[in-house]
């Protein structure tokens, strides 16, 4: 569940800001972000957030926002899987609505090009350094076949890339055994085959060997013609602490995207519903 809780924070912040909007169900005039393409049958952990909120409301009613819970849960999930810790800035308030359209528009897709990723992160005020560091969160967790099918079948041209991808034959065979060309959309594979349950820097070593699970992982190396991103990937692959430091800086920055404070929004009593 650790990677899923981190992903909830990420998907929340990229739509309207870090305001807990991803937690809202479809009620009344609200169309839930949970139903958007990048989220449906994919994001999870809502019951964990519900349980945390229940205990917080019992102990200290109407005080801790759902948006802050997401930020804290993301940090604790990383720590519990061997990653770095950081001080979470608190005081976010919860949105009064959700954006189904925004979830479809702003959450990066697993088949994104590098140009698309840079533009997508730029819309959130995040730069190339943030893109590389936050991509390192794919050092743990799993992805659905639907998300990496293109990487297995469409990204491979044996005539053009035979020599280059010769070493990838076994890896592709493993992936194709999990994810057929048709069907099996919900089958899962680890984002990091080497240390799939640890938050470490193995992700960067993997993509240097062209063993990133998602197309959007591999483009950090394959489509970086300037070399700026590749140099960061090499740096993080060789120095775990350097990656940890950059990740902390970038996730704190991400956690402050368009936050609601003061009298904006509200502090929900139930993370799935706006207050009555």
Cα separation, 210 vs 230, in Å, equals 12
In a domain, 80, yes or no: no
Is the distance from CB of 16 to CB of 103 less than 8 angstroms? no
pLDDT of residue 127: 98
Active site residue 62: no
In a domain, 171, yes or no: yes
In a domain, 273, yes or no: no
C-alpha separations of 11 from 137, 168, 179 in Å: 13, 31, 25
CATH assignment of the domain containing 175: 1.10.420.10
Residues annotated in the binding site for heme b, as ranges? Answer: 138
pLDDT of residue 167: 58
In a domain, 6, yes or no: no
Would the pTM of this model clear 0.85, i.e. be above it? yes
Tell me: the pLDDT tens digits for 204-259? Answer: 999 999 899 999 999 999 999 999 999 999 999 999 999 999 999 999 999 999 99
In a domain, 172, yes or no: yes
Retrieve residue 208's tokens: 């240097």
* Tally of domains in the chain: 1
Q: At what angle do helices 145-153 and 169-178 cross, to 10 degrees?
A: 140
Residues annotated in the binding site for Ca(2+), as ranges? Answer: 12, 15, 17, 19, 21, 33, 139, 192, 195, 200
E-strand ranges in 72-145 read 142-144
In a domain, 153, yes or no: yes
Please tell me which residue in 11, 62, 162, 215 is annotated as part of the active site.
11
In a domain, 166, yes or no: yes
User: Helix, strand, or coil here: 103?
Assistant: helix
Cα separation, 139 vs 145, in Å, equals 17
Residues annotated in the binding site, as ranges? Answer: 12, 15, 17, 19, 21, 33, 108, 138-139, 192, 195, 200
Is the distance from CB of 210 to CB of 165 less than 8 angstroms? yes
In a domain, 77, yes or no: no
* Structural domain containing residue 175: 137-250
pLDDT of residue 94: 98
Q: At what angle do helices 215-222 and 228-238 cross, to 10 degrees?
A: 110
Q: Which has the closest alpha carbon to 113: 220, 192, 38, 39?
A: 220
Share of the chain above pLDDT 90, in %: 90
């Amino acid at each position: 569940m650790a990677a899923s809780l981190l992903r909830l924070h990420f998907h929340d912040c990229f739509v309207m800001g870090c305001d807990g909007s991803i937690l809202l169900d479809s009620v009344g005039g609200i169309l839930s972000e949970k139903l958007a393409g990048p989220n449906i049958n994919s994001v999870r952990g809502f019951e964990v957030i519900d349980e945390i909120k229940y205990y917080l409301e019992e102990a200290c009613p109407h005080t801790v926002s759902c948006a802050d819970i997401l930020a804290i849960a993301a940090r604790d999930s990383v720590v519990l899987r061997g990653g770095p810790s950081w001080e979470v800035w608190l005081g976010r308030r919860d949105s009064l609505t959700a954006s189904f359209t925004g979830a479809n528009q702003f959450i990066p897709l697993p088949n994104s090009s590098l140009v698309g990723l840079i533009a997508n992160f730029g819309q959130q005020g995040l730069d190339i350094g943030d893109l590389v560091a936050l991509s390192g969160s794919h050092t743990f967790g799993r992805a659905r076949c639907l998300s990496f099918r293109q990487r297995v079948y469409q990204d491979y041209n044996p005539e053009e890339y035979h020599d280059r991808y010769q070493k990838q034959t076994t890896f592709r065979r493993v992936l194709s055994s999990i994810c057929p060309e048709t069907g099996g959309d919900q089958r899962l594979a680890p984002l990091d085959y080497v240390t799939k349950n640890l938050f470490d820097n193995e992700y960067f070593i993997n993509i240097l060997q062209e063993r990133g699970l998602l197309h959007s992982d591999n483009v950090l190396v394959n489509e970086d013609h300037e070399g700026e991103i590749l140099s960061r990937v090499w740096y993080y692959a060789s120095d775990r602490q350097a990656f940890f430091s950059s990740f902390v800086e970038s996730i704190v920055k991400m956690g402050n995207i368009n936050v609601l404070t003061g009298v904006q929004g509200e502090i929900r009593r139930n993370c799935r519903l706006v207050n009555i």
